[in-house]
Amino acid sequence: MAIRSAAGAYQVRILEDLGEAAGGLPSGHRLWVVDQRVWDLYAPVLRPLAGPDRIVPLPIHEGCKNLETAQELCGTLMEMGVRRQTTLVVVGGGILQDLAGFAASILFRGIPWVFLPTTLLAQADSCIGGKTSLNFQNFKNLLGTFWPPQRVLLAPAFLATLEEDVFFSGLGEVLKLHLMGGARTLAAYEGLQDRLHARDLPALTEAITTSLAIKQGYIERDEHDAGPRLLLNFGHCFGHGLEAASGYRFPHGQAVVLGMRLANRVAQGRGLLDAALAQRADRLFQATLKVKPAARDLDPAPLLAAMARDKKRTGPGLALILMQSGYGFEQVQDLTPEEVRTALEAERPHD
Ligand SMILES: NC(=O)c1ccc[n+]([C@@H]2O[C@H](COP(=O)([O-])OP(=O)(O)OC[C@H]3O[C@@H](n4cnc5c(N)ncnc54)[C@H](O)[C@@H]3O)[C@@H](O)[C@H]2O)c1
């Protein structure tokens, strides 16, 4: 598939075998930045692909998505001889994409990069759209640029080695996109669910392709997040709040699943979402939520404080994306602390 972008169209190529990536790499000077864990697991396949190129393996966790690490990475790449025409080959998940994509966007005011996404979240969602983000102070994804890769080389075979919470984190974003796609894609997801949970590769490839097509519809209409693209943040207003309030202990995609549940409770409370669709969605959320929130994650005070700092907030009230009956989505700016407390209360275990 080809994604239109103000920075130039870029291709997403789905690879049946990782070795096929060789044909998609640009010629010329290249430097590789690889998630350390991916390097540990896949060096025998990646080393021949890289040939004589130099490789930077980086240990990855949400805490390294910051300016200090981006600066260190720029320094390492400078020591390795990065030039204006160098292509950065980035191999990893959403965190490395955000960090290395950011570095690529500022080095020499922007050098080309190619992305090999290795997590389900990165393959089904973040690899398109061109956003690079860093966390700043206690603000999630506050700093960033729009700098899409030249090409995405997508090998679902990487997904076999993901830890369960990372896999289900990505599945949360897949579920979100299938809900946003409407009745047809929701039914398709339900039909695939068992095979997806078993990591069946053809089922994963189908769900990834559908997810990317749904996201493409939003980002091509609104690449720079001024209108419809904001709706892709369904689940993220609560989700980013939960991540930040838990000190990033809660994995991103799992926080989004819980965020969608909480948002749907608010929508039902406002009479916007019918019970049948809410229950159908909730069954899927429950099957996808593998990291159960601790009591402290459901404490309203830190969550409300984190949501008050949400960058989508434009007025005095809190921002939230709500799902409606008939698969519509809307952004509201008048979420009240009382609605947040009520939605959280229903999540607490009762004895
Ligand atoms: N730029 C965007 O448009 C965008 C969109 C959505 C999310 N994000 C960001 O993405 C991040 C989450 O990304 P993620 O879920 O991909 O997690 P991630 O990049 O942190 O990877 C999760 C873990 O899986 C490991 N890993 C990666 N690939 C592996 C593989 N093939 N086998 C085994 N282990 C592997 C990593 O080392 C890490 O420990 C968040 O910071 C979020 O804000 C960015």
Mean pLDDT by 10 residues, the chain (351 residues): 93 95 94 98 96 96 94 98 97 98 98 98 97 90 95 98 96 97 98 98 98 96 88 93 84 93 97 97 96 87 87 81 96 94 85 49
CA of 141 to the centre of ligand 1 (A): 14
Please work out whether the CB of residue 122 comes within 6 Å of at least one atom of ligand 1.
yes
Q: C-alpha 246: how far from its chain's center?
A: 18
| Predicted pLDDT of residue 335 | 94
- 105-131 burial by CB neighbour count: b if 16+ within 10 A, else e? bebeeebbbbbbbbbbbbbbbbbbbbb
Mutate to test the pocket of ligand 1, among 33, 45, 121, 254 (most ligand atoms within 8 A of CB): 121
**Number of C-beta neighbours around residue 279 at 10 A:** 11
Say yes or no: CB of residue 256 within 6 Å of ligand 1. no
Amino acid 179: pLDDT: 97
182-188: long-range contacts, CB 8 A cutoff, minimum separation 24: 182/327, 183/327, 185/210, 185/214, 186/280, 186/281, 186/327
- Give 3-state DSSP helix, strand, coil % of the chain, rounded to 5: 55, 15, 30
Phi and psi dihedrals of 203, rounded to 5? -65, -40
Q: Best substitution site from 35, 102, 127, 128 to test ligand 1's pocket, by max atoms within 8 Å of Cβ? A: 35
Q: Is the pTM of this model over 0.85?
A: yes
CA 64 and chain centroid, separation: 16
Q: What is the pLDDT of residue 350?
A: 61
pLDDT of residue 292: 85
Q: 192 CA distance to ligand 1 centroid (A)?
A: 23
Which pair of tokens denotes residue 200? 């069946």
CA pair distance 313, 71, nearest whole angstrom? 29
- Tokens 């060789």: give the residue: 22
Single-letter amino acid code for the residue at 329: F
What is the 61 CA–ligand 1 centroid distance (Å)? 8
